[in-house]
């Protein structure tokens, strides 16, 4: 057993990670943004000293990609300086640090999966601030840190693309969804399991890509969500009464429409290609996350049970 400290514990990944650790009987100090401001060096040092963790997982982050373009200094304070504060505290305490990062540290122009050691070249403010955090962590803890890059996250908690698509499917809306950006939809519960595996297996410190295997577009992702939603509704119909989906033929059901990035302008440029390679996992004796469709179908029943809505892509 290890003693764990998790920052950003109320977020989507933080909640799944703390739930997994609790189920395993681990000793956890779970700190939300209200509990700990990671931009406050003295507060971070005090929190780490009080918890005496073996492992710190920094799930605290500025994740508003578009807002970072206008407020880069504020995003950097959290994603860069906050990560540096945690790294310094971990170095003083002799603790390992797991630092989740993002595909946005790359330029998004590749045509084959980015390996863990691919050159970084962020195209926007969010990516720059996350890369600053990576660099600070690796500089302070070169032999005691894990950079865990992930992308296209969804889960049962918080706002995310899956919840948005489920709400639109339930409303009978056929949204336009970008079809020329490609990546790997990834369930936060799977990322949490990979983080635990790194520590449990005493994996070599370094960079790991915690995304699902395979790839799709946002449109392909949305199609799969809509199809699952409609199938689940059909399965829940009262067959004894001979009901179908509102008496409508299946062809009339809502479904996403493919659009281009140009049709969906955003303040921050989205990577056209966010597919990450996973070679570091087998090298450490750990299996990578499996296929994105399989993971989505494992995740959807729990997400649908929680209800709620999300934001756009």
DSSP assignment of 203-226 equals: PPSEEEE---BS-EEHHHHHHHHH
Which residues, listed in sequence order, are joined to residue 4 by a DSSP beta bridge?
Answer: 28, 55
114 is an active site residue: no
For position 1, what pLDDT does the model report? 74
Phi, psi of 306 (to 5 degrees): -80, -20
Q: Is 97 left (phi over 0), alpha (psi -120 to 50) or beta?
A: beta
Rounded CA separation 102/86 (Å): 18
For position 130, what pLDDT does the model report? 98
For position 267, what pLDDT does the model report? 95
Q: Is 202 left (phi over 0), alpha (psi -120 to 50) or beta?
A: left
Phi, psi of 77 (to 5 degrees): -60, -35
Local mean pLDDT, 10-residue blocks, the chain (313 residues): 95 98 97 97 98 98 97 98 98 98 97 98 97 98 98 96 96 97 98 98 98 98 96 69 48 86 95 97 98 97 75 36
For position 237, what pLDDT does the model report? 57
Rounded CA separation 151/76 (Å): 19
For position 118, what pLDDT does the model report? 98
Of the candidates 165, 160, 140, the one whose C-alpha atom is nearest the C-alpha of residue 150 is 160
Q: Which 3 state secondary structure label does DSSP give 266?
A: coil
Number of Cβ atoms within 10 Å of the Cβ of 73: 11
Sheet holding 96-102, edge to edge: 27-31, 3-7, 55-58, 96-102, 145-150, 206-209
Q: Given the residues 114, 126, 154, 229, select the one marked as catalytic.
A: 126
Structure tokens at 249: 């033929």
**268: DSSP letter:** S
Count CA atoms within 13 Å of residue 173 on its CB side. Answer: 11
For position 313, what pLDDT does the model report? 35
Q: Residue 300: CB partners within 8 Å, gap ≥ 6?
A: 162, 225, 228, 232
**279: DSSP letter:** T
Q: Residue 193: CB partners within 8 Å, gap ≥ 6?
A: 20
Instruction: Give the domains, in start order, of the chain with CATH numbers.
Output: 3-158+185-214+275-290 (3.40.50.720)
């Amino acid at each position: 057993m290890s003693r764990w400290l998790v920052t950003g514990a109320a977020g989507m990944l933080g909640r799944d990670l703390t739930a997994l650790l609790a189920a395993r009987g681990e000793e956890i100090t779970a700190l939300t943004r209200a509990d700990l401001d990671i931009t406050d060096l003295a507060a971070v040092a005090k929190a780490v000293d009080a918890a005496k963790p073996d492992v710190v997982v920094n799930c605290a982050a500025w994740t508003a990609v578009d807002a970072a373009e206008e407020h880069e200094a504020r995003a950097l304070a959290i994603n860069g300086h906050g990560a540096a504060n945690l790294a310094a505290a971990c170095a003083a305490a002799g603790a390992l640090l797991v630092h989740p990062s993002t595909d946005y540290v790359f330029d998004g122009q590749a045509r084959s999966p980015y390996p863990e050691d691919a050159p970084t070249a962020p195209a926007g403010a969010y990516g720059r601030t996350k890369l600053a955090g990576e660099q600070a962590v690796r500089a302070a803890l070169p032999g005691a840190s894990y950079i865990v890059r992930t992308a296209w996250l969804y889960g049962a908690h918080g706002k995310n693309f899956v919840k948005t698509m489920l709400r639109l499917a339930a409303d009978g809306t056929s949204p336009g969804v970008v079809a020329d950006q490609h990546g790997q939809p990834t369930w936060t519960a799977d990322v949490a399991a990979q983080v635990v595996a790194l520590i449990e297996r005493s994996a070599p410190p370094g960079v790991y890509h915690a995304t699902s295997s395979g790839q799709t577009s946002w449109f392909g992702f949305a199609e799969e969500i809509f199809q699952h939603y409609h199938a689940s509704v059909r399965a829940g119909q009262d067959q004894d009464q001979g009901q179908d989906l509102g008496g409508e033929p299946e062809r009339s059901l809502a479904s996403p429409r493919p659009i281009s990035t140009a049709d969906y302008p955003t303040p921050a440029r989205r990577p056209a290609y966010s597919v990450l390679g996973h070679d570091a996992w087998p090298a450490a004796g750990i299996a990578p996350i499996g296929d994105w469709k399989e993971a989505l179908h494992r995740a959807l029943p729990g997400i649908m049970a929680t209800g709620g809505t999300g934001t756009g892509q």
